[in-house]
Amino acid sequence: MITVHVKLFAVYQEAYQAPGIDLELPDDAAVGVVLDAVMATHPELDMWRSHTRFGVNFQFVPPETPLHHGDEVVLIPPVSGG
């Protein structure tokens, strides 16, 4: 098992009422598994699934990117502002 820290922004942070969470995942987990775990706990966020981008250790990555113990994962939903 590996542990990753997930930084939450916007709708994800609102749902969890926290700036981040730690997740324990299987050794062979890819970054997309993080989104699955978040959605399992908060299914109301599913509407953002196809619009969320991923970052691992300060780099944008595709959902199939393998994770390693201690990685920092960022879920980036679409944002707007003025």
pTM summary value:
0.89
What mean pLDDT comes out for the span 61-77?
Answer: 96
Burial 45-74 (b: 16+ CB within 10 A, else e): beebeeebebbbeeeebeeebebeeebebb
Residue that the structure tokens 């989104």 belong to? 35
pLDDT category of residue 78 using cuts at 50, 70 and 90: confident
- Compute the distance between CA of residue 79 and CA of residue 82 in angstroms, rounded to an integer: 10
| Pair 49, 39: CB distance under 8 Å | yes
**Please, what are the domains in the chain?**
2-76 (3.10.20.30)
Asked if residue 82 has pLDDT above 70, the reply is no
Give the tens place of pLDDT for each residue, 19-60: 999 999 999 999 999 999 999 999 999 999 999 999 999 999
